Structure 1
Amino acid sequence: MSVTLNDEPLLNVSGLTKYYGGRIGCQDVVFQLWPGEVLAIVGESGSGKTTLLNCLSTRLPPSTGVIEYRMRDGSMRNLYQLSEAERRFLMRTDWGFVHQHAADGLRMTVSAGANVGERLMAVGDRHYGKIRATAADWLGRVEISEDRIDDDPRSFSGGMRQRLQIARNLVTKPRLVFMDEPTGGLDVSVQARLLDLLRQLVADMGLAVIIVTHDLAVARLLSHRIMVMKDGLVIESGLTDQVLDDPREPYTQLLVSSILQV
């Protein structure tokens, strides 16, 4: 994938470290993310990638380090110096978070349309007709039939729930979306359909995305750049195709070769 980067980063991360008592979650992570860029964080279970994602998305406070985000007014703000209300507003409007298990990112007892409409209300929309029309449009964009708008997600398949979660996150036109193993647990055919949809939406909307995955095929398909983690450390990073086609570190070489042997 190619990307045209803006001059100023959207996210600036320096010295990010998280300890769990004496155990390292992630340590001394440094990177920048630009608008419209997709960054994949890969590694085996326990490598620290989910800890890093949770720190970046303010779901887990780091032990040390700084995470700065460029607000819509152009100012760069330290995320952990924002008020709780400011952070909540970011998470409802400017950011999205796509969970591996869609039930964690949806309200399962309200309709599909209401799941999408709630995000619109968070940015100030109050006209019921417009909210419903926008929700119906977004259901169509994620390949859910409009006649399912009043059904609740408990009646949806796993793939449909994940597509609904994506619609719920993207309806407010966020600038940054965090994704935690978005294709995990889905059948291979459902994964392929979801990945095609994600790639198209990310490109169409110019989204910046940080995606955690153990699946290098997902990283190759969706991301411009990749960071490989092992034991809480980023051991290799660079352009996705470059790292996956010519890995420098033995651990990355092992990850790549294990995929090829499957």
Structure 2
Amino acid sequence: MNAALLSVRGIRKCYGERVALEDVSFDLWPGEVLAVVGESGSGKSTLLDAIAARSAPDAGLVQFRQRDGQLQDVFALGLARQRLLARTDWGFVHQNPADGLRMEVSAGANVGERLMGLGERHYGRLRATAIEWLQRVEIDANRIDDAPRSFSGGMRQRLQIARNLVTQPRLIFMDEPTSGLDVSVQARLLDLLRQLTRQMQLAVVIVTHDLAVARLLAHRMLVMQRGRVVESGLTDQLLDDPQHPYTQLLVSSVLQP
């Protein structure tokens, strides 16, 4: 497809006197991974919430290309259609897996729940699909009846990914998905994410303060400072030859996340 999957124009968001986002615009293409980077407070998570319809911006336009090829203004949809979009064509991977999982039900139920939301009621098919996805995210099928609270942090994050991908979405939002995990667990999760995004041709917007994560996963980057995009471009090009002074500081690790 030669048309953008997601089109974002002129996003603005204020909290009282504080401007959290100012005139943020970009396009995202099918199968493309876009990293939004910047130090804490730069506006990157606020931007993610705005484009994922979790928090309405004060100004601007977010359009998503539907399966019929038409661009749809996300905030012109009613709440019911936004919710349907969020559990079908979209996914959202939280920094804390507990925010994206139902901790009191089994791993299999977490994966199957999104399919049930689309009308699947056959227990055998639900369980078989749940097992397939647990295996795809490297969780032993024998853990299907275990609750997520018995899982490690890395396993919970992988389960959250399976829960999001089971409906074959076209766009995934990720908020610091590797934050708080041990380095070895991070590396395993990043390798899994890279495999899945390529296999499924997923479009992804990933927020991260870790430039190594951006380099490994993302085709393009947006660099944010004080709610504005100060530089954007191909990931390797931006990291190897940053032009904006703020990006140069990030790359040289003078700024701490």
TM range (shorter): over 0.9
Distance 1:125 1:201 in 2: 23
Alignment partner of 1:253: what SS? helix
Residue 145 of structure 2 corresponds to which residue in structure 1? 150
Residue 133 of structure 1 corresponds to which residue in structure 2? 128
Which of 76, 83, 88 aligns to 1:81? It is 76
Letter of the 1:241 counterpart: D
Distance 1:245 1:259 in 2: 16
Distance 2:8 2:190 in 1: 27
Q: Percent identity?
A: 69
Question: Unpaired segments of 5 or more residues in structure 2?
Answer: none
Alignment partner of 1:66: what SS? strand
Distance 1:122 1:243 in 2: 41
Pair 1:250-2:235 in alignment:
no
Deviation at 1:144, TM superposition (A): 0.3
Deviation at 1:246, TM superposition (A): 0.2
Distance 2:212 2:149 in 1: 30
Deviation at 1:73, TM superposition (A): 1.6
Deviation at 1:251, TM superposition (A): 0.7
Deviation at 1:259, TM superposition (A): 7.6
Distance 1:260 1:122 in 2: 43
Residue 54 of structure 1 corresponds to which residue in structure 2? 49
Distance 2:78 2:37 in 1: 31
Which of 186, 191, 202 aligns to 2:186? It is 191
Alignment of 1:25-104 (within 5 A): 25-104=20-99
Residue 235 of structure 2 corresponds to which residue in structure 1? 240
Distance 1:53 1:78 in 2: 16
Residue 156 of structure 2 corresponds to which residue in structure 1? 161
Cα RMSD, aligned residues only:
1.2
Distance 1:201 1:63 in 2: 34
Alignment partner of 1:41: what SS? strand
Residue 199 of structure 2 corresponds to which residue in structure 1? 204
Per the normalisation by structure 1, the TM-score is 0.96
CA offsets 1:182-212 (integer angstroms, 9 cap, x no match): 0000000000000000000000000000000
Alignment partner of 1:258: what SS? coil
Residue 23 of structure 1 corresponds to which residue in structure 2? 18
Distance 2:62 2:97 in 1: 27
Alignment partner of 1:39: what SS? strand
Distance 1:166 1:240 in 2: 24
Do the aligned partners of 2:12 and 2:60 also contact (CA within 8 Å) in 1?
yes
Letter of the 1:201 counterpart: L
Letter of the 1:9 counterpart: A
Deviation at 1:125, TM superposition (A): 1.2
Do the aligned partners of 2:39 and 2:255 also contact (CA within 8 Å) in 1?
no
Relative to structure 1, is the Cα distance of residues 168 and 194 closer, same or farther in structure 2, using a 3 angstrom cutoff? same
Pair 1:110-2:95 in alignment:
no
Letter of the 1:233 counterpart: R
Segments of 4+ in structure 1 off by > 4 A?
Answer: none
Deviation at 1:72, TM superposition (A): 1.3
Alignment partner of 1:248: what SS? coil
Letter of the 1:68 counterpart: Q
Distance 1:59 1:250 in 2: 32
